[in-house]
Structure 1
């Protein structure tokens, strides 16, 4: 299949810089959601934290309470970006999984091993695990291939946030298998299936997190299909995005409206970011690409950094209430963000190149 034959499946923009920037902001949202972990004592059960004790709660309360919704946003953005990258690529089927392994696994395996070590130290000191308690051999072995949240898990384990990567692997598989049909009609294929899966999550179907991930991903792909048809332009994206965000707040005010609010809010923000990108003819948002590169590192490094800080303050006899101080929160958030940038430049990119080089060398030897 020639590139020319598939050229109609790619929007003219090479990069979506506002989306890149939004990925960084979404990763930072997760930092605030997990900040509550600093106040969890060494207990062998779930512990509810009074989030109002966290620094600057009056100002940052929405982030502390809703930062977890960034995960769904990541899924939707991934669906849009994958459609942009792979629908028009005639070699997509052959190199898809190599690119995924090179991008995801090196940092995942590094932080998985580090969390196993840090949790071992924490257990030796306290007699129980830090926040994530299902750190047994079964979940470690499942975590290596990112299969730890496919429905057979007891709970989140080790580097807890990696659960969302585990579900996203299944969304990648669906996308990869559906590529021939998505190329024929990306909107017509992705929209009904994505909407149906999210509908099942609203009904609390079994394994709803897996269904939700695939649903968000496919609706992100559907958004790309709608953009290809020129149905989504800045003139329509702005009012549609604003309306969806207003609907999200309305759902949030209703009992049991959280999942519906997250769906509406996710695509409201996605549409507003797309409007910004499509209006950016002069490339003023180009800086967003490099900022977005840090999001994966921030996401996987922030829990190991958090546990390392807890071990440090416990070892020097400082009460964990020190986390109520704004300077401590700013130090933690800044450290996690810096780790994301350093990780991308010093580990993730070199690791990607190494994986591609090893694959090329292996192919050469076989031929």
Structure 2
């Protein structure tokens, strides 16, 4: 495989980290929207009802960040495929497993006290979730920790990343081809739903994996464009304006352009000097966003079980308390488990790979 020409280090792209945090909370509020309905105006509820589109943003961001951090190192063989996959496993799996086991405790208690049936949370899906393959086409529904379906598809994208890198070879392609391929992949996402008469972005069990792979590949191409354009901040505003225009076309006319909205937004923010998205609290939200994404669903389920009576409106104060609880739990999980577990696993890998120095005898 031809090595990617080295690119100058750019450091963390803070606006994209903050964007990830905002997107995670869009998903949280998407799952809370039925509880919030009595308290919010219709336009806001409509916006929250589109929160599942944030998952498409995650897929592009993932492809962008993985390409930025690993493409050159993999092609130059400074990092092996095994090491890349292990470090991605260390990043996503410990917290996924912890939340899955929390769901197992929750479901077991529900079964024990007679408030659930075994077919509602079948254990085949649990087993598939344990191996992070629950959205690889083996199931026809979403169960247990529902948001983890996208983690399953991203795990598939990580496994295929070296092959995608070799096949796409973005560093070899002219800029016009990168743009054209990005557009084609974005259109293909919507075309798959249209071809099988499925509503976008639903039918997750049937389309989740291909939806992820196409947009993950888009993220890779967008990152290559970013590396070529780095420093040209004057292009940021036109790209952000393009993202806004495409978003308007989708909202007003249902134009099949959602992946292209996210592609334009990511490239625009990566090139911009946006002080708002560099605000420390937003950056912190981005850092803990994976924990937020994985823990919020079980928090909402437990809240409903304990405090929501059928047919009754939930007070605003309890909903604010739920929001604060999700934020607090996210922080605790990130600082107390997610990061320590990742560091421990990466350190174990580094120690295993370190050369052993034997003292000479005599």
Q: TM-score range by the shorter chain?
A: 0.7 to 0.9
Residues 243, 268 of structure 1: 8 Å contact kept: yes
- Which range is displaced more, 333-342 or 149-158? 333-342
Match of 2:278 in 1: 285
Q: How far off its partner does 1:172 sit?
A: 1.6
Unaligned runs of 5+ in 1: 39-50
2:342 to 315, 333, 352: 352
Q: How far off its partner does 1:108 sit?
A: 0.3
Per the normalisation by structure 1, the TM-score is 0.80
Matched, 1:185 2:176: no
Match of 2:297 in 1: 303
Matched, 1:240 2:239: yes
2:52 to 55, 68, 74: 68
Matched, 1:275 2:266: no
Residues 170, 221 of structure 2: 8 Å contact kept: no
Residues 21, 283 of structure 2: 8 Å contact kept: no
Match of 1:224 in 2: 223
1:55 to 39, 43, 47: 39
- Which range is displaced more, 116-125 or 299-308? 116-125
2:85 to 74, 92, 97: 97
2:157 to 171, 190, 199: 171
| Distance across 1 between alignment mates of 2:276 and 2:244 | 26
Q: How far off its partner does 1:185 sit?
A: 2.5
The verdict on how the C-alpha distance between 1:364 and 1:32 changes in structure 2, with shifts beyond 3 A counting, is: same
| Distance across 1 between alignment mates of 2:304 and 2:83 | 41
Within-5 A mapping of 1:1-367: 6=4, 8=6, 10=7, 12-36=9-33, 53-58=37-42, 60-89=44-73, 90=76, 91-92=78-79, 93-125=81-113, 127-128=115-116, 135-181=121-167, 182=169, 184-185=171-172, 192=181, 195-196=184-185, 198-204=187-193, 207-230=206-229, 233-254=232-253, 257=254, 260-276=256-272, 279=273, 285=278, 287=280, 288-313=282-307, 321-323=312-314, 325-360=315-350, 362=352
Residues 194, 215 of structure 1: 8 Å contact kept: no
Residues 194, 214 of structure 1: 8 Å contact kept: no
| Distance across 1 between alignment mates of 2:156 and 2:187 | 15
| Distance across 1 between alignment mates of 2:232 and 2:120 | 46
| Distance across 1 between alignment mates of 2:117 and 2:153 | 24
The verdict on how the C-alpha distance between 1:362 and 1:268 changes in structure 2, with shifts beyond 3 A counting, is: closer
Residues 167, 213 of structure 1: 8 Å contact kept: yes
Residues 167, 209 of structure 1: 8 Å contact kept: yes
SS of equivalent to 1:149: coil
Q: How far off its partner does 1:82 sit?
A: 0.9
SS of equivalent to 1:253: helix
Residues 87, 179 of structure 1: 8 Å contact kept: yes
Aligned residue pairs: how many? 339
| Distance across 1 between alignment mates of 2:230 and 2:336 | 41
The verdict on how the C-alpha distance between 1:193 and 1:253 changes in structure 2, with shifts beyond 3 A counting, is: closer
